[in-house]
Structure 1
Amino acid sequence: MQCGSPDCPSREQGWLAISNFGSVRSLQRGLAILQAVNRHNGMKAADIAKLAGVPRPTAYRLLETLEGLGFVIRSQSGDMWRPTLQTKSLSSGFRDKDWVAQIAVPQMMKLGRKLLWPLDLVTFRNFRMEIRESTHNISPFSVDHGMVGRGLPVLDTAGGRAYLAYLPDAEREQVLEALRAELGEEKVGFHEDGPLEFILDRTRQIGLGYRMRGFNERTMSISAPVMAEHRPVACLTMIWIGSALRFEDAVRTHGDALKATARSIADELARLTLENNDL
């Protein structure tokens, strides 16, 4: 049957046929085959089978199925398989915000269960620090709930200060100019924790944004930047009750773990971004 004839199944019908015929294991193998082809952009079926960990006859069957669906193509001159532009459709629904759920949340939950104090992941939006995810719901020490989606002031929070400290100079000045226009010079330059320049310098020295006073008198916080291409894309903040833990002790006992998790999120985000750009 030639593709294009009235009886030729559509790609959507092809996916349904696979679902009806195969199993979850077949789907796993098919995705492994597609990933192998995509990574190497030109491989023999035998090598694809070995890399994907499937029997050679299965690899041939799945490659022919993927070819029928338009995701791979076999060279005319030999047994070499390559991905097609159709593979880009698999990443078309991926949005920048999806990395939060895919990468950040699992690592936040893991760290949150270890530290017990609640964690927030914040990003810069409309000159506020927006809480994207939180572990307040699993923390036995949380004093705040329903935090996701809440906007926090940039200048008065550990996450906002970490964000500003690690922004490229030109971007930081643009943000500060906008905040001066909104708040006035005095509210931008001076805070209960000291002058802004002093706070940002200390943030870079210890590798953590911090808040000891102001904004919420019951709590303190430290925040590690999640870096991507030499700029922060988010900040991971730990919040604790000030009367229960001294600031210096919090930095000493939890600071390294917070920074390590922020780096791990950044590394995983870089890997995922590279894979999606390669599609």
Structure 2
Amino acid sequence: MQTAPTIIYVPPCCPALLLLNCGSLTLLWLCEPKPQQDTARMGIPWRVTIGNAIVFALRTASSGAGMSSAYRDVKSLVRGLQILESLGQKGSMKVSALAESTDIDRTSTYRLVSTLESMGYVLRRGEDGAVSLTSKMANIADGFRDDDLIAQAITPYIHELTHIVLWPSDFATFSEGAVTVQVTTHKLSPMSVHRAVVGRHHSLFRSALGRAMLSVMSQKEIDTASVVAQLEAPNSQYIWDKKTIRKLIGDVRKAGYASSVGESEINISAIALPLRVGRVVGAVNIVFFRSAMTPQIAADRYLEPLKACVRRVKKALSA
């Protein structure tokens, strides 16, 4: 059954994208707005000039599976990883045993082992030809940070939080002298105007995320964090004013949550809760427009779902 072309366009204000979906083939044009040359056949004020067109053909499955189905596994890579996994689980073994363990034919196993050996990931003993992992694999494992593991664990829970409250949410850690966003739901939220949020830095003292983390730190941790933050933000008025810092922390502890109003961005407010599992792991916030509500109203509406999210994350990380 042939699918009728579907046209999606952006109102004329700048060069725009014109998307035509014709069954299993999707065509994307970059067009110039020419309202004086309306195309009545399409019913939209655009003219596609072939000279200026950039065409991308994106194969989509007729079942509607989407773009993910366009990418197939790289078989040799999958097999190479199977070999590394097998060696990691069972220790050194001969190529014949490795082939049997991974269910890869022996000829392919020899070629894969040779490639991995040339890259420095495995080593073959001269006396019996047994294959084992090298220290280079340990270097890769060392590159996996706790922040990465925590970010992976927290993602489904803050996604669920955003489905409940609709406003976007961030999870951030304190690293490199700043509060750094590791996970965000801005792309999922219909209430967000931001997209590129992961990796964004916020002040430890001015953001709700930073204040939430400070509220559960020990005095020693607060002093250390303050010194590090001062190195990164020498002009901050909060760094040297210990009285102000104590008041910030006291206000958070008294309220039961951290908040900020126009601190990170003039039109944005947030409430946040800390995440501590043996140590200060980070903090989770809910972000909203400053004009939409006060932090107190936001807390009245959304603090319980935020607390539930943090409890579930703590349980998952403690398991």
Which range is displaced more, 103-112 or 56-65?
103-112
Which residue of structure 2 aligns with residue 184 of structure 1? 241
Query: How many angstroms apart in 1 are the aligned matches of 2:89 and 2:96?
Result: 15
Equivalents in 2 of 1:90, 1:127: separation in Å? Answer: 25
| 1:85 matched residue in structure 2 | 135
- Unaligned 5+ segments in structure 2 are 1-72, 231-235
Q: 1:237 aligns with which of 285, 295, 304?
A: 285
Are the structure 2 counterparts of residues 39 and 224 from structure 1 closer, same or farther at C-alpha, using a change threshold of 3 Å? farther
> 1:30 maps to what in 2?
80
Matched, 1:141 2:198: no
Give secondary structure in 1 for the equivalent of 2:104: coil
TM-score by length of 1: 0.59
The answer to whether the Cα contact below 8 Å between 1:107 and 1:261 also exists between their aligned partners in 2 is: no
Q: Decide whether aligned partners of structure 1 residues 64 and 250 sit closer, same or farther in structure 2, where only a CA change above 3 A counts.
A: same
Counterpart-to-counterpart distance in 1, 2:100 and 2:254? 53
- Asked whether 1:170 is paired with 2:220, we answer yes
Number of equivalent positions: 233
Alignment correspondent of 2:163: 114
Deviations 1:60-84 (CA, angstroms, capped at 9, x unpaired): 4433443354432234554642112
What CA deviation, in whole Å up to 9, does each residue of 1:122-172 have, x standing for no partner? 333565434455332431123667655654343454311332234354222
Counterpart-to-counterpart distance in 1, 2:310 and 2:129: 49
The superposition leaves residues 168-215 of structure 1 with CA deviations (integer Å, 9 ceiling, x where unpaired) of: 542223335768973524422224xxxx24634775xxxxx5327785
Q: Does the aligned pair in 2 maintain the 1:45–1:56 contact within 8 Å?
A: yes
Letter of the structure 1 residue corresponding to residue 307 of structure 2: G
1:265-276 matched pairs, under 5 angstroms: none
How far apart, in 2, do the equivalents of 1:143 and 1:89 lie?
Answer: 39
Instruction: Considering Cα pairs closer than 8 Å and 6+ residues apart, tell me whether 1 or 2 has the greater RCO.
Output: 1
Give the residue type in structure 1 aligned to 2:244: K
- Normalized per residue, which structure has more helix? 1
Tell me the distance in 1 between the aligned counterparts of 2:124 and 2:200: 51
2-structure distance, mates of 1:74, 1:64: 9
**Alignment check: 8 A CA contact 2:154 2:313 kept:** no
Deviations 1:204-230 (A, max 9, x none): xxxxx5327785797441234275xx4
Report deviation, 1:118: 0.7
Q: Does 1:256 align with 2:312?
A: no
Contact 2:91 2:132 in 1 (8 A): yes
Segment of structure 1 superposing worse, 112-121 or 95-104 = 95-104
Shift of 1:114: 2.6
User: Are the counterparts in 1 of residues 87 and 133 from structure 2 also a CA contact under 8 Å?
Assistant: yes
Provide the rounded CA distance (Å) in 2 between the counterparts of 1:105 and 1:257: 9
Question: How many angstroms apart in 2 are the aligned matches of 1:91 and 1:121?
Answer: 23
In the alignment, residue 158 of structure 1 is paired with which amino acid?
A
Q: Aligned-residue CA RMSD in angstroms?
A: 4.6
Q: Secondary structure at the match of 2:211?
A: helix
* Counterpart selection for 1:199 from 231, 252, 260: 252
Instruction: Report what 1:5 is aligned to.
Output: none
- TM-score if structure 2 supplies the norm length? 0.53
Asked if the contact 2:238–2:244 (Cα under 8 Å) also holds between the matched residues in 1, the reply is no
C-alpha spacing 1:158/1:65, structure 2 compared with 1 (3 Å):
same
Among all aligned residue pairs of Structure 1 and Structure 2, give the percentage whose two residues are the same amino acid: 21
Which letter does structure 1 place at the counterpart of 2:312? Answer: A
The amino acid of 1:114's aligned partner reads H
After TM superposition, the structure 1 = structure 2 runs for residues 2-81 of structure 1, keeping only pairs within 5 Å, are 24-45=74-95, 48-49=98-99, 51-55=101-105, 58-76=108-126, 78=128, 80-81=130-131
Match 2:273 to one of 223, 226, 238: 223
The letter of the residue matching 1:187 is T
In structure 2, which of residues 148, 156, 177 is the aligned counterpart of residue 99 of structure 1?
148
Q: CA deviation at 1:250?
A: 1.6
Contact 1:108–1:119 (CA<8 Å) still a contact in 2?
Answer: no
Check the 8 A contact 1:133/1:148 in 2, yes or no. Answer: yes
Larger Rg: 2
Kindly provide the CA deviation profile for residues 93-125 of structure 1, in whole angstroms up to 9, marking residues without a partner as x. x47599399847964774465343212233335
Q: Is the Cα contact below 8 Å between 1:112 and 1:135 reproduced in 2?
A: no
Structure 2 CA distance for partners of 1:143 and 1:174, relative to 1, 3 Å: same
